[in-house]
Amino acid sequence: MSRAGLAAAVLFSGLACELVTVFTPPPPPDPFRDVGKVKAVDFHGWSAHALENWHTRVVVVPAIGRVMSLGFPDDGDLGDVLWRHGQLGPRMAPDENGWINYGGDKAWPAPQTDWERMVGKGWPPPATFDAAAHTVTTTGSAIELMSPVDQAYGLRVRRRVSLKNDLMFVDTTYEKVQGPPVRVAVWTITQLVSPERMFALLPGRSAFANGHRSTFPVGPKDLTVDGRLLGLARHPTEKTMIVNDADALLWVGAGRSLVIETTETQPADTGAPRPGGAHAQIYTSPDGAEPYVELELLGPLVDLAPGQRTSMQVRYRLLRREKADPVAEARQVFATELGRAP
């Protein structure tokens, strides 16, 4: 090679190295990079599936169609915030109404006032939604449950559970498969162990007087409303329930906080009617054999004909509690995690 050619080659090589250095920076970090992995597990005698990443571990039990465990992967059962019946297992017997209260996170059809007309009785919940075995499909990083078709509603329920870093998403879809049109809303019920306090982040202008309506004869314990922040405690001797128009709820317990939020609905019309005007409900069970609470979210009411569907996505984030005062914890969580100061 001539001296000129050699010089050109060296120059070209140097330029190439310089270009590589300048134009190929490392990719920016992906905040949703850790979606976790699914593995088969045994859960209280049932075949189940666990989905786990560095931050969250969740267990789904297809035999009863629900999420049954939610905690940090390094804490074991002690850090689990979901409530489960103390006698949980495949041999649990129903109560006097024929209902088995397994616990966990599930989906029912709303409004509840339609159950008697649709299935012939107002309680217990329609069995296809509450008690039927679901089929399960797993990918490397998601679990999807599918119910049988409910003969009264003509609906099939799909629930997809996934993780994205420190967030859990549950996408619940009602698919109309057969029968006459039905008016229904997605309704998710998350049963949780007894907390120190619970909160709802109300909209700027609530449609409810004082931000809520009580639906049981006895009102909730220590209910307060300070601006947009509604707080209450579990009543030790009475069942209580309130409805409100919040889209984000918070459970604050020993060393843990759990914020749940409706992030997406289909249809996406924010002005669509909700069951009883409610976006959310909070139920508390009294002391006794099984004290627990429920944080519940409701989607829009939709008229579904065969081939149509409605869905709601709920986002869950489990946090290590930072503030001793539960009100201070709630203000921090809503401000920092949701970007919405109460």
* Backbone CA torsion sign across 39, 45, 46, 52: negative
Residue with the bigger pLDDT between 289 and 116: it is: 116
Residue with the bigger pLDDT between 270 and 337: it is: 337
For the domain bounded by 93-337, which CATH number is listed? 2.70.98
CA distance 90 to 95: 15
Q: How many other CB atoms sit within 10 Å of the CB of residue 11?
A: 10
* Backbone CA torsion sign across 226, 227, 229, 230: positive
Q: For the segment 315-336, what is each residue's pLDDT rounded down to a tens digit?
A: 999 999 999 999 999 999 999 9
pTM: 0.90
Evaluate if residue 177 carries a pLDDT over 80: yes
Q: What is the mean pLDDT of residues 179-188?
A: 98
**Predicted pLDDT of residue 26:** 55
Q: For the segment 224-247, what is each residue's pLDDT rounded down to a tens digit?
A: 999 999 999 999 999 999 999 999
**Predicted pLDDT of residue 214:** 97
CA distances (Å), origin 148, targets 31, 157, 279? 36, 8, 27
Evaluate if residue 10 carries a pLDDT over 50: no
Enumerate the domain spans of the chain: 93-337
Q: For the segment 23-78, what is each residue's pLDDT rounded down to a tens digit?
A: 455 555 555 579 999 999 999 999 999 999 999 999 999 999 999 999 999 887 66
**Predicted pLDDT of residue 121:** 95
Evaluate if residue 16 carries a pLDDT over 80: no
Query: Which among 141, 129, 168 is positioned nearest to 314, based on CA atoms?
Result: 168
pLDDT tier at 8, thresholds 50, 70, 90: very low
**Predicted pLDDT of residue 30:** 59
**Predicted pLDDT of residue 25:** 55
CA distance 143 to 169: 11
